[in-house]
């Protein structure tokens, strides 16, 4: 099964060109300073000039205020706002209505109950749901921790929102993850890095090829 691919944590020209050359469908900019993948507004603006309209530009935020969102949207010409904090459904709706852009709500998954909660609270509210593994207890980052969850929890489920699978995905396991979960999208960051925060072009290419079944 082939699926769409988002490469998150794009913070350099080399990473951008590698992702676009490999055939990524979406690029993620992390606007969260504690992350090793954080990118400045100027950096995102410069990179975005090279991105065609056919590739989605996604901004990742953690409990950001409207002014921070507005500034980043303008700088990076974002298409999708990825909300990776404690944003409740009302805040997700407010952001979508205020800025007129698609929203993506990240959901930390460990058990089936977490998916049930996502269905009851966020499904149909956010345009995308991003299912990521719960971070380790000692992690300061809400995502990008190279941790996966049981993909069979997603098998056979249907959603009103479009959705992505994330968490611990690599070029070696993404094909299996897609086969088991039937994910229409996959999202990767640490799984295609040479060192923390630095993307590896060969890993990006291998990931996209595996995800898309080439």
Residue positions annotated with a catalytic role: 8, 132
Q: Is 56 left (phi over 0), alpha (psi -120 to 50) or beta?
A: beta
CA nearest to 29, candidates 49, 17, 50, 43: 43
CA nearest to 41, candidates 113, 33, 197, 185: 33
CA 74, CA 80: separation in Å to the nearest integer?
A: 12
Report the first-to-last Cα separation within the chain, whole angstroms. 10
Q: Which residues contact 92 (CB under 8 A, 6 or more apart)?
A: 83, 103, 105, 122, 125, 126
């Amino acid at each position: 099964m082939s699926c769409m691919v988002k490469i998150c944590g794009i913070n350099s020209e080399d990473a951008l060109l590698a992702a676009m050359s490999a055939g990524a469908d979406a690029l993620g900019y992390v606007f969260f300073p504690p992350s090793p993948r954080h990118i400045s507004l100027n950096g995102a603006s410069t990179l975005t000039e090279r991105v065609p309209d056919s590739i989605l530009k996604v901004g990742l935020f953690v409990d950001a205020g409207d002014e921070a969102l507005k500034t980043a949207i303008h700088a990076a010409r974002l298409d999708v706002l990825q909300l990776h904090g404690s944003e409740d459904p009302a805040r997700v709706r407010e952001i979508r209505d205020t800025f007129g852009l698609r929203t993506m709500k990240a959901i930390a998954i460990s058990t089936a109950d977490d998916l049930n909660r996502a269905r009851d609270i966020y499904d149909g509210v956010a345009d995308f749901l991003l299912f990521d593994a719960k971070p380790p207890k000692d992690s300061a980052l809400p995502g990008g921790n190279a941790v996966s969850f049981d993909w069979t929890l997603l098998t056979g489920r249907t959603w009103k929102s479009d959705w992505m699978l994330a968490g611990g995905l690599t070029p070696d396991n993404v094909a299996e993850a897609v086969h088991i979960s039937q994910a229409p999208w996959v999202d990767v960051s640490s799984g295609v890095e040479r060192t923390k925060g630095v993307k590896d072009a060969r890993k990006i290419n291998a990931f996209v090829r595996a995800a898309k079944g080439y």
